[in-house]
Amino acid sequence: PLVLHVLGARPNFVKAAPVVRALGELGVRQGIIHTGQHYDALMSDVFFADLGLPEPIANLGVGSGSHAKQTAALLVGLEEVVQEHEPDLVVVYGDVNSTLAAILVCAKLGVPTAHVEAGLRSYDRGMPEEVNRVVTDALADLLFATSPEALAYLASEGVPAAKVHLVGNPMIDSLFAALPSLDPAPVVERLGLPARYAVATLHRPANVDTAEAAKELVEAVLEVSRKVPVVVPIHPRGKARLAEAGLVDGETVKVVDPLGYVDFLSLVRGAALVVTDSGGVQEETTMLGVPCLTVRPNTERPITITHGTNRLVTPALLPAAADKALADGAVTPAGELPVLWDGKAGPRIAKVISAWLEGDNLAP
Ligand code: UD1
Ligand code: UDP
């Protein structure tokens, strides 16, 4: 049997690495299809190197575009490559457009699919990712959930419980694997930061796609930077608009290119505070015990609030929340971390997949 992994964007690489490794250890034949949704070296190549991911067997070179144009190109490219390779299972990750396109293509071709990171919900259909999550979970044959609340969400949408496996969080597997290599000192020195600093990552369309949203956000980040210097590894999506809104290199703000995985997590590990609108960073700060302020009205990862260091804030509330977080440090309300975020999600997923492959589920 052959398993194909469809990957396209930065967070996909981080989630797939432990699954690919664990399937490899079980001797499963597999290959990576890179859609090319992310293509800059700092958004893609660096993750293959840092995470030890094998070279893709195909790169579709889909690139950027409006949702319709990007998704259309993904559908056309993926249909061809899936038909060419005739996989027995296609594994998709997270909630990006590459994930959505792969699940649609496979559903129409009758190719079975597995969704890693199933059942996350923000209940905000204004987020493109929420649309992708709902469609992906409706069509997947195997659903791998990272946290218990996903089981109830999926049940409420009519997904049969037999399809769903609570396995923990492969993104945290990657974090655990990287832990011994995480050293803030060299990155802090290279970027010319003081010992006490904050890290900010901002790329959600609602925050960076309009001049008004960008301005409100940048003003809040600049105010935080008057209390603690802020380094911003900038996602290409918001680069121009955030700069226009005033997020530029200064005495207290440092805007840098996106960082590689090990450099970024090293920086986060040494930070006094993280400000973000990323999905994955909410989880990583929870595990590293770094206070995290998420500038969004909601989160599909509420467990990082109930069992972690995450807080939701509006731009207006960000400066005061930053003061409090800097004074209090990391607070984990439940006193315990999310269950099964133990670095073993990849092997759990691989075990389910290999049992499934050995069952009577193979494509005719
Ligand atoms: C995508 C995901 C988002 C995820 C993010 C992770 C969707 C709908 N969104 O958002 O859920 O959080 O990836 O980083 O799939 N660009 C470059 N170089 C690149 C890639 C993108 O310059 O290598 C720029 C292009 O101008 C592009 C823009 O970033 O138009 C947006 O890229 P795109 O892949 O469409 O969405 P992201 O915002 O990266
Ligand atoms: N990340 C990174 N370098 C950066 C910013 C983020 O390596 O400059 C990593 C981060 O540690 C996490 C992943 O990228 O593992 C999250 O990706 P992103 O925030 O782009 O996507 P999201 O999780 O919001 O979908």
Clarify whether residues 194 and 289 are in a common domain: yes
Residue 336 lies in a domain: no
How many structural domains are present in the chain? 2
Q: Kindly report whether the global pTM for this prediction surpasses the value 0.90.
A: yes
Clarify whether residues 195 and 107 are in a common domain: no
Report the candidate in 312, 295, 328, 126 with the shortest Cα–Cα distance to residue 220.
Answer: 295
If DSSP codes are grouped into helix, strand and coil, which group holds residue 3?
A: strand
Residue 312 lies in a domain: yes
Give the position, in ligand 2's atom list, of the atom nearest the Cα of 204: 24
Residue 250 CA to ligand 1 center (angstroms) comes to 26
Q: How many CA atoms lie within 13 A of 231 on its CB side?
A: 26
In this prediction, residue 363 carries a pLDDT of 43
Residue 161 lies in a domain: yes
Burial class (CB in 10 A: 0-12, 13-18, 19+), 201: buried
> Mutual orientation of helices 211-225 and 318-328 as an angle, nearest 10°?
30
Residue 335 lies in a domain: no
Clarify whether residues 58 and 155 are in a common domain: yes
Say how far apart CA 159 and CA 151 lie, in whole Å: 9
If one counts every other C-beta atom within 10 angstroms of the C-beta of residue 339, the result is 13
Ramachandran angles phi, psi of 33, nearest 5°: -100, 115
Residue 363 lies in a domain: no
Q: What is the DSSP string of 150-211?
A: HHHHHHHTT--GGGEEE---HHHHHHHHHGGG--HHHHHHHTT--SS-EEEE---HHHHSSH
pLDDT tens digits, the chain, 364 residues: what are they?
999 999 999 999 999 999 999 999 999 999 999 999 999 999 999 999 999 999 999 999 999 999 999 999 999 999 999 999 999 999 999 999 999 999 999 999 999 999 999 999 999 999 999 999 999 999 999 999 999 999 999 999 999 999 999 999 999 999 999 999 999 999 999 999 999 999 999 999 999 999 999 999 999 999 999 999 999 999 999 999 999 999 999 999 999 999 999 999 999 999 999 999 999 999 999 999 999 999 999 999 999 999 999 999 999 999 999 999 999 999 998 889 999 999 999 999 999 999 999 995 644 3
Clarify whether residues 100 and 198 are in a common domain: no
In this prediction, residue 335 carries a pLDDT of 84
Residue 181 CA to ligand 1 center (angstroms) comes to 27
40 within ligand 1 shell (Cβ under 6 A): yes
Clarify whether residues 6 and 150 are in a common domain: yes
Ligand 2 pocket residues where CB is under 6 Å: 10-11, 14, 201, 233, 258-259, 261, 264-265, 278-281, 284
Question: What CATH number did the domain enclosing 243 receive?
Answer: 3.40.50.2000
Clarify whether residues 123 and 204 are in a common domain: no
102 within ligand 1 shell (Cβ under 6 A): no
CB 195 within 8 A of CB 231: no
In this prediction, residue 338 carries a pLDDT of 96
65 within ligand 1 shell (Cβ under 6 A): no
Ligand nearest to the CA of 209: 1
Residue 357 CA to ligand 2 center (angstroms) comes to 31
Helices (H), 10-159: 10-25, 45-51, 67-85, 97-109, 128-139, 149-156
Residue among 100, 278, 341 to mutate when testing ligand 2 (max atoms within 8 A of CB): 278
Residue 37 CA to ligand 2 center (angstroms) comes to 15
Clarify whether residues 19 and 132 are in a common domain: yes
Clarify whether residues 278 and 308 are in a common domain: yes
In this prediction, residue 161 carries a pLDDT of 96
> Which strands sit side by side in the sheet containing 89-93, from one edge to the other?
58-59, 29-34, 2-7, 89-93, 113-118, 142-145, 164-166
In this prediction, residue 361 carries a pLDDT of 60
Clarify whether residues 104 and 223 are in a common domain: no
Q: How many CA atoms lie within 13 A of 70 on its CB side?
A: 17
Q: In Å, what is the CA distance from 259 to each residue of 11, 46, 114, 187, 313? A: 13, 9, 30, 10, 25
Q: Active-site residue 5, yes or no?
A: no
Residue 337 lies in a domain: no
Clarify whether residues 42 and 150 are in a common domain: yes
Residue 334 lies in a domain: no
Question: Which structural domain range is residue 72 located in?
Answer: 2-168+344-358
Residue 354 lies in a domain: yes
Protein residue with its CA nearest to atom 30 in ligand 1: 64
Catalytic residue among 34, 203, 235, 307: 203
Residue 267 CA to ligand 2 center (angstroms) comes to 12
Clarify whether residues 161 and 24 are in a common domain: yes
Residue among 12, 48, 64 to mutate when testing ligand 1 (max atoms within 8 A of CB): 64
Q: In Å, what is the CA distance from 126 to each residue of 81, 208, 271? A: 31, 14, 31
ipTM computed for the complex: 0.99
The two beta strands, 89-93 and 2-7, are: parallel
Instruction: Classify each residue of 66-83 as buried b or exposed e, where b means 16 or more C-beta atoms within 10 Å of its C-beta.
Output: eeeebbebbbebbbebbe
Question: What's the N-to-C CA distance of the chain in angstroms?
Answer: 11
Give the position, in ligand 2's atom list, of the atom nearest the Cα of 278: 24
Clarify whether residues 154 and 249 are in a common domain: no
Structure tokens at 132: 């992708």
233 within ligand 1 shell (Cβ under 6 A): no
Task: Check the CA dihedral 355-356-360-362 and report its sign.
Answer: negative
In this prediction, residue 364 carries a pLDDT of 38
Residue 56 CA to ligand 2 center (angstroms) comes to 20
Say how far apart CA 271 and CA 286 lie, in whole Å: 13
CB 264 within 8 A of CB 276: no
* Residue 348 falls in which region: left (phi positive, over 0), alpha (psi -120 to 50) or beta: alpha
